[in-house]
Amino acid sequence: MELPRPTLRDVLRARAVVRRYLAPTPLIRYPALDELTGTETYVKHENHQPVGAFKVRGGVYLMSCLPEAERRRGVIAASTGNHGQSVAYAARLFDIPAIIGVPEGANPLKVASMRALGAEVLFHGPDFDAARGFVEDLAAERGYRYIHSGNEPLLVAGVGTLTLEILEEQPGIDAIIVPVGGGSGAAAAATVAKAVDPAIRVIGVQSEGAPAAYRTWKAGTPVETPAIHTFAEGLATRTSFSYPQATMRDLLDDFVLVSDAEIRAAIRHYLTRAHTLAEGAGAAPLAAALQLRAQLEGRRLALILSGGNISEEQLRWVLSDA
Does 209 have pLDDT greater than 70? yes
Does 252 have pLDDT greater than 90? yes
Average pLDDT over every residue of 200-219: 97
Query: Rounded to the nearest 5 degrees, what angle is found at the Cα of 247, between the Cα atoms of 147 and 290?
Result: 100
Among candidates 38, 64, 23, which has minimal Cα distance to 296? 38
Same domain, 291 and 216: yes
Compute the distance between CA of residue 184 and CA of residue 207 in angstroms, rounded to an integer. 16
Q: pLDDT tens, 20-72?
A: 999 999 999 999 999 999 999 999 999 999 999 999 999 999 999 999 999 99
Give the confidence band of 322 by pLDDT, cuts at 50, 70, 90.
low
Same domain, 202 and 139: no
- Residue 80 has a pLDDT of 86
Q: pLDDT tens, 169-201?
A: 999 999 999 999 999 999 999 999 999 999 999
Same domain, 187 and 277: yes
Find the CATH number of the domain harbouring 231.
Answer: 3.40.50.1100
Same domain, 76 and 213: no
Same domain, 99 and 167: no
Give the confidence band of 155 by pLDDT, cuts at 50, 70, 90.
very high
Domain assignment present for 1: no
Same domain, 256 and 199: yes
CB-CB neighbours of 142 under 10 Å: 11
**224: amino acid identity, one letter:** E
- Residue 234 has a pLDDT of 87
- Domain membership of residue 172 as a residue range: 8-54+154-320
Same domain, 209 and 263: yes
**pTM score:** 0.94
Of the three residues 85, 120, 150, the one that is the final residue of a domain is: 150
Q: What phi and psi, each to the nearest 5 degrees, are found at residue 269?
A: -60, -40
Domain assignment present for 41: yes
Share of the chain above pLDDT 90, in %: 89
- Residue 215 has a pLDDT of 97
Q: pLDDT tens, 95-108?
A: 999 999 999 989 89
Domain total in the chain: 2
As annotated, the active-site residues are 55, 306
Mean pLDDT of the chain: 95
Q: pLDDT tens, 215-251?
A: 999 999 999 888 899 999 989 888 999 999 999 999 9
Same domain, 44 and 83: no
- Residue 104 has a pLDDT of 94
- Residue 1 has a pLDDT of 64
Same domain, 218 and 292: yes
Does 310 have pLDDT greater than 70? yes
Compute the distance between CA of residue 157 and CA of residue 4 in angstroms, rounded to an integer. 11
- Residue 2 has a pLDDT of 80
